[in-house]
Structure 1
Amino acid sequence: MITLRPADKRGHADHGWLDSHHTFSFANYYDPEHMGFRALRVLNEDRVKPGHGFDTHSHRDMEIITYVLEGVLAHKDSMGNQAVIYPGEVQRMSAGTGVTHSEYNHSSTEPVHFLQIWILPQTLGIPPSYQQRAFAPTEGAHRQVVARQGDVVTVHQDMALSIAHLATGQETRYPLASNRHAWVQIARGSVLLNGQPLQTGDGAAISQEALLIVQAQTNAEVLLFDLA
């Protein structure tokens, strides 16, 4: 079963300096029909103007993943981390018992476009931690970048995130175990997902599908969450 979440049905907030689309309920956008999917709680597509960003604020008990699509994002937190996140890099901050951080557009001339993803952890009250890694694109295949363990960015949850960069006409196949679920998010381009068309910004909740076939109709970047 595949349930589509069209891009134009998402929540939207335009703060001038920030243009944000919310796949699930977030901040002032509330939709009881879209409170998350499995452990995936937040999936925001954000664009921040040059010279602007999110002032210091706090989080608890959440796995926060940031993935930059275009531009450069600066990060600073109460654990002492100061970092710059470039396209192709994945950042994870486990808020745990509590952390404060800020995020700013690192450029004074170019906007930054990124996805902010929140995952519910399996265990509450863990010590806060931070991880950031760069991953070279693997064209035509799903590249795992986040998981509970392995040579990836690790999270405190039974889930995995893979990213595929597809040229027009390329196809990937992802087997999904019978007890697993998936969320597919189209970061760029257009694809067919088991024959159903998805465009930039569209998402899809997937259950009871043994095989996911993604066929690129144009050059595309696809995020696939494998969830318990």
Structure 2
Amino acid sequence: MIKKIDSKNMGSSDLGWLKSLFHFSFAEYYNSHNINFGVLRVLNDDLIKSNNGFDTHGHRDMEIISYVVNGQLTHGDSMGNKRTIERGQVQYMSAGTGVLHSEHNYGEDTARLLQIWIMPDKKGYEPSYGDYMFHWEDRKNKWLHIVSGKLGEAPIKINQDANFYVLELEENEEIDFHVKDGRQAYLVQIEGIAEINEVILKEKDAMEIIEEKLLIKSKEKSHIIVIEMKKEK
């Protein structure tokens, strides 16, 4: 099963310094039929103007992944971490029993990032933070496995059976992705245009996939993320 999610039908917010597209219910956008997709609870496509950001605020019992599409993102937290990442790089935080953090764009240009929240497999973990400076070339015309569960093989490990893969596919190239039995996935067309199992996805569109083999054909250079997880019962 595949289901296209048109970006025009997603929730949105414009605070001036921050423009957001909400894939799931968040902040002022609430849809009782669109709370989550399996363990994927939040996926916000954020545009943050230069010298703006999220001031210190708290989280708990959530696995939080920030994926920078363009610009810079600087993270600070109550554990003493302060780090800046750029295009294609990742910050991740297990909020666990509670943590305070901030995220700002101190760069000259507007930053675009995906804020992704995954529900953990249990509550009460010790809070932790990390980041990973992935090389852009490692996702060119091939899947780069950036996040996995604790028993997985990705360099970033979270407290849930979920996997993140990213890809930059050159124009007129093809690649497969197999969502196996008992699994489901959420795909975001971050940049470009692609045809996936004969369905066209434009920039910022998404797709829900359950137990399906995908054939992805790029109509123009395509930047894609897939979040794969156990099938929701």
* TM-score normalised by length of structure 1: 0.97
- Report how far residue 200 of structure 1 moved: 0.5
Q: Trace 1:40-189 onto structure 2 (pairs within 5 A).
A: 40-107=40-107, 109-137=108-136, 138-148=139-149, 149-189=152-192
- Amino acid corresponding to residue 116 of structure 1 in structure 2: Q
Aligned residues: 226
For structure 2, list consecutive stretches of 5 or more residues without a partner in the other structure: none
Distance in 1, Cα, partners of 2:8 & 2:200: 14
Q: CA deviation at 1:161?
A: 0.4
2:38 aligned with 1:35: no
Partner of 1:208: 211
Distance 2:211 2:154 in 1: 28
| CA distance in 2: counterparts of 1:193 and 1:131, whole angstroms | 33
- Tell me how far apart the structure 2 counterparts of residues 143 and 116 of structure 1 sit (CA, whole Å): 18
Large movers: runs of 4+ above 2 Å? none
TM-superposed deviation, 1:45: 0.4
2:61 is paired with a residue of what secondary structure?
coil
* 5+ long unaligned stretches in structure 1: none
Aligned partners of 2:12 and 2:124: how far apart in 1?
Answer: 31
For 1:150 and 1:80, locate their aligned partners in 2 and report how far apart those are by CA, in whole Å: 28
Cα contact 1:18–1:48 (8 A) shared by 2: yes
Q: Aligned-pair distance for 1:208?
A: 2.9
> What amino acid is the match of 2:218?
A
* Alpha-carbon shift at residue 151 of structure 1 (Å): 4.0
**TM-score, normalised by the number of residues in structure 2:** 0.95
Measured on the aligned residues, the alpha-carbon RMSD in Å equals: 0.9
SS at match of 1:42: strand
Secondary structure, counterpart of 1:132 in structure 2: strand
Distance 1:30 1:63 in 2: 21
1:7 maps to what in 2? 7
**8 A Cα contact 2:166 2:224, kept in partner:** yes
Whole-Å separation in 2 of the counterparts to 1:182 and 1:51: 34
Q: Do the aligned residues in 2 keep the contact of 1:84 with 1:106 (CA within 8 Å)?
A: no
Q: Identical aligned pairs, as a percentage?
A: 37
Preserved contact between residue 191 and residue 223 of structure 2 (Cα < 8 Å) = yes
